[in-house]
């Protein structure tokens, strides 16, 4: 993992407008879909509650759809690979996240163990903040230590899985074919994750080739941190009003 750039404000940024547009686009997605973090659409929810027996293809689709539209997952994944360049290293971190996510999603639903949706989603928002701070080198600057990034990725993968398990439990999914459907859903999640990762890597490769990437990296992580705080605040307000 390459060392992040020194903490500094970027000064003149040739592609600042592109970053602002990216931030506005991300914020518009958050406002438009704020209520759907770790959730599925009402139509999909009704479908999940009605069907019984093994339904591999539908649950594959629902899992992939959840991941591709799950902006909190994608934001964290974006942060994880931000300073990763080698495919072997990227594969290691994504695998750690996938293992954590899969274990708690499957175990949580199978053993009917969930966490308050607002609390777990606030923690997931915090994972985005944490990763942005990690990318900015904040922990080493503030505390003189660098937390193990692989362990952090695995732990946050476990927490992201609990978030999804908590939602699925609320849908009262049929016990008939439950294990098959959960495995299909999880495979769909991983396929969706690979799709999102491929798109992110294409954009990152072009971006990293730009001379201004070093300066823009700071701003991008600050924006990501702000979005993480926004997600946290959204869920904490929801918890207070629930």
pLDDT tops 60 at residue 119: yes
Confidence band, pLDDT 50/70/90 cuts, at residue 132: very high
Residue 143, CA distances (Å) to 23, 138, 156, 204, 226 in order: 29, 8, 21, 30, 21
CA distance 52 to 118: 28
Q: Domains of the chain: which residue ranges?
A: 56-241
Q: What is the pLDDT of residue 82?
A: 92
Average pLDDT over residues 16-20: 57
Q: What is the pLDDT of residue 5?
A: 47
Q: In this structure, what is the dihedral angle of CA atoms 38, 41, 43, 49, given to the nearest 10 degrees?
A: 10
Confidence band, pLDDT 50/70/90 cuts, at residue 189: confident
Render pLDDT for 35-62 as a digit per residue (tens, 0 to 9). Answer: 444 555 666 777 777 778 888 998 888 8
- 4-18, 80-94, 100-114, 159-173: least confident range: 4-18
Across all residues in the chain, what is the average pLDDT? 82
pLDDT-above-90 percentage for the chain:
26
Q: What is the pLDDT of residue 27?
A: 58
Average pLDDT over residues 3-29: 52
Q: What is the pLDDT of residue 125?
A: 92
Q: What is the pLDDT of residue 34?
A: 46
- Six-digit token string for 199: 């798109």
CB 48 within 8 A of CB 81: no
Neighbours of 159 (CB within 10 A): 18
Q: What is the pLDDT of residue 162?
A: 85
For 189: left if phi > 0, alpha if psi spans -120 to 50, otherwise beta; the answer is alpha
Q: What is the pLDDT of residue 14?
A: 47
CA distance 185 to 85: 30
CA distance 80 to 101: 14
Average pLDDT over residues 22-30: 57
3-state SS, residue 37:
coil
- Six-digit token string for 219: 């701003």
CA distance 53 to 208: 47
Q: What is the pLDDT of residue 227?
A: 92
Report the b/e string of 10-35 with b at 16+ CB within 10 A. beebebeeebeeebeebeeebeeeee
pLDDT tops 50 at residue 226: yes
Average pLDDT over residues 70-91: 88
Q: What is the pLDDT of residue 42?
A: 61
Nearest CA among 213, 222, 84 for reference residue 153: 84
């Amino acid at each position: 993992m390459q060392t992040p750039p020194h903490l500094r404000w970027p000064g003149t940024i040739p592609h600042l407008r592109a970053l602002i547009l990216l931030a506005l686009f991300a914020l518009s997605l958050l406002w438009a879909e704020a209520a759907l973090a770790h959730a599925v659409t009402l139509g999909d929810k009704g479908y999940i509650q009605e069907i019984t027996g093994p339904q591999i293809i539908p649950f594959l689709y629902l899992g992939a759809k959840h991941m591709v539209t799950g902006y909190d997952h994608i934001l964290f994944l974006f942060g994880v690979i931000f300073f990763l360049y080698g495919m072997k290293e990227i594969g290691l971190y994504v695998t750690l996240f996938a293992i954590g996510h899969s274990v708690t999603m499957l175990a949580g639903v199978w053993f009917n163990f969930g966490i308050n949706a607002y609390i777990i989603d606030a923690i997931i928002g915090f994972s985005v903040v944490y990763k942005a701070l990690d990318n900015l080198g904040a922990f080493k600057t503030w505390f003189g230590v660098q937390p193990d990034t692989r362990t952090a990725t695995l732990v946050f993968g476990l927490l992201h899985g609990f978030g999804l398990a908590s939602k699925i439990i609320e849908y009262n999914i049929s016990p008939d074919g439950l294990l098959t459907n959960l495995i299909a859903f999880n495979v769909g999640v991983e396929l969706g994750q690979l799709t999102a990762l491929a798109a992110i890597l294409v954009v990152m490769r072009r971006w990293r080739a730009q001379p201004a990437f070093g300066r823009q990296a700071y701003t991008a992580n600050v924006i990501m941190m702000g979005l993480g705080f926004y997600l946290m605040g959204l869920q904490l307000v929801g918890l207070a009003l629930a």
